[in-house]
Amino acid sequence: ISELQNCQPFVVDTLHGKIAVAHNGELVNASALRKKVMRHGVGLSTSSDSELITQLLALTPPMEELDTPDWVARIKNLMTETPTSYSLLVMYKDVIYAVRDPYGNRPLSIGRLVPISKLHSSGAGEADTEGWVVSSESCSFQSIGAKYYREVQPGEIVQISKNGVKSLIVVPRPEGDPPAFCIFEYVYFARPDSIFEGQMVYTVRQRCGRQLAIEAPTDADVVSTVPESATPAALGYAQQSGLPYVEVLCKNRYVGRTFIQPNTRLRQLGVAKKFGALTDNFAGKRVVLIDDSIVRGNTISPIIKLLKEAGATEVHIRVASPPIRFPCYMGINIPTKEELIANKPEFEDIAGYIGATSVRYLSVEGLVSAVQGGIESHGKDERISTKSSRFGHCTACLTGKYPVELEW
């Protein structure tokens, strides 16, 4: 819930001093953990899982001397209490612990601050490091004068201090369970210049577009995109299909992203204000319009209407991800199945419902293939086990197969 009281970081006084916690994700067993904390007499003042994590870290008494806090043991204990979904930063005095849950569901990257003169140089070695930063996405580093260093691995606890970066431990998943990095980070959420699993998001989206052209070709004159997150996929579709890529929509950059708007009215108003038609590029032509995803169906229908009224003879929708059919319980705003267009009766004739000439989606297998096709192995560090470095992705919103059992 977006309320001021839920703002991060959460800071609490503990027996050993203050700790500060920042968190990305949503705990799959939060309800049970809230009851556990409150049974210990600890009150919770917000609805945020981040406060719950903070109180669990402060409350949990591992085997330690009273005057020597063992925060790594406390973090490990937290990781045994809840399997996913969290990427965490825990700060105690002058030390930061960067943590990813054993399934690696949410991203977390480390960057190093370097002299501005060496920011764009390949010759900036570790001796030039002026400090360390941590972010969900590597794209944020350059804007503060930092260079990408590496990702925190699934289950890994990394200590960052004035002495540098040190991998302390990798907490394993249950035997046989693969990682479950959110595949929707590649589809929509991440900025295209971010790096996950050794590959740039932009490149993955291009591969999705090429795969989509193989799976869902059509007779058309031009390929275009719903800007901006679908642009790499549209370029990939154009490259694979041999159709020319043109821009058909001009985006108003002063309006926020519609999917993240918290209610239907704001989403619909966002669509109405968001785009203008570049008529000269497509009037009298058949358009293949690439979108990254269709969640509720509120955005795409008025865009199709806009293009047809501006002169497009046909508008074929090609979606560079599979239909979203299931809610996410790990940190994404998809609260109910009923909201999703893929679960409504209208989905049987979705083209007619949204006003398109045709609609085709990328398959789950095609998406997974496009994502996993360029992943580099991270097994070089002997402290990171082969099992921990094996890649895998959460497709629960597409398939209903959640990486862990959900608890309510």
**Residue 324 predicted with pLDDT over 90:** yes
Q: Summarize pLDDT for 145-166 with one digit per residue, the tens.
A: 999 999 999 999 999 999 999 9
pLDDT reported for residue 173: 94
Are 131 and 16 in a shared domain? yes
CATH number, domain containing residue 208: 3.40.50.2020
Structure tokens at 65: 């001397």
pLDDT reported for residue 184: 95
pLDDT reported for residue 391: 76
Runs of H (alpha helix) within 18-164: 30-39, 49-59, 71-81
The maximal CA–CA distance of the chain, rounded, in angstroms, is: 77
Residue 371 and residue 204 in contact, taking contact as beta carbons nearer than 8 Å: yes
Range of the domain at 27: 4-197+377-399
Instruction: Return the exposure string of 148-181: e unless at least 16 CB atoms fall within 10 Å of the residue's CB, then b.
Output: bbbbbbbbbbbbbeeeebebeebbebeeebbbbb
Are 110 and 27 in a shared domain? yes
Q: Tell me, yes or no, whether 152 lies in a domain.
A: yes
Q: Summarize pLDDT for 186-210 with one digit per residue, the tens.
A: 999 999 999 999 999 999 999 999 9
* Binding annotation for [4Fe-4S] cluster: 182, 328, 394, 397
pLDDT reported for residue 385: 39
Are 240 and 184 in a shared domain? no
Q: Tell me, yes or no, whether 93 lies in a domain.
A: yes
Are 252 and 323 in a shared domain? yes
Are 47 and 92 in a shared domain? yes
Are 324 and 214 in a shared domain? yes
Are 52 and 187 in a shared domain? yes
Are 14 and 121 in a shared domain? yes
Residues 345 and 105: their CA atoms lie apart, in Å, by: 31
Q: Which of 54-63, 133-142, 224-233, 300-309 has the lowest mean pLDDT?
A: 54-63
Are 230 and 307 in a shared domain? yes
* Binding annotation: 182, 229, 291-292, 328, 394, 397
Q: Tell me, yes or no, whether 26 lies in a domain.
A: yes
pLDDT reported for residue 231: 96
Return the closest-CA partner of residue 156 out of 221, 107, 208.
107
Of the chain, the end-to-end C-alpha distance in Å amounts to 18
Residue 361 and residue 322 in contact, taking contact as beta carbons nearer than 8 Å: yes
Are 69 and 135 in a shared domain? yes
* Binding annotation for Mg(2+): 229, 291-292
Q: Tell me, yes or no, whether 344 lies in a domain.
A: yes
**Residue 397 predicted with pLDDT over 50:** yes
Q: Tell me, yes or no, whether 382 lies in a domain.
A: yes
Confidence of residue 64 (pLDDT cuts 50, 70, 90): low
pTM summary value: 0.88
* Most confident by average pLDDT, 34-38, 102-106, 381-385: 102-106
CATH number, domain containing residue 11: 3.60.20.10
Across the range 28-35, mean pLDDT stands at 92
CA angle 58, 61, 65 (to 5 degrees): 110
Structure tokens at 93: 């005095």
Higher pLDDT, 110 or 1: 110
Sign of CA dihedral 98, 85, 197, 238: negative
Q: How many domains does the chain have?
A: 2
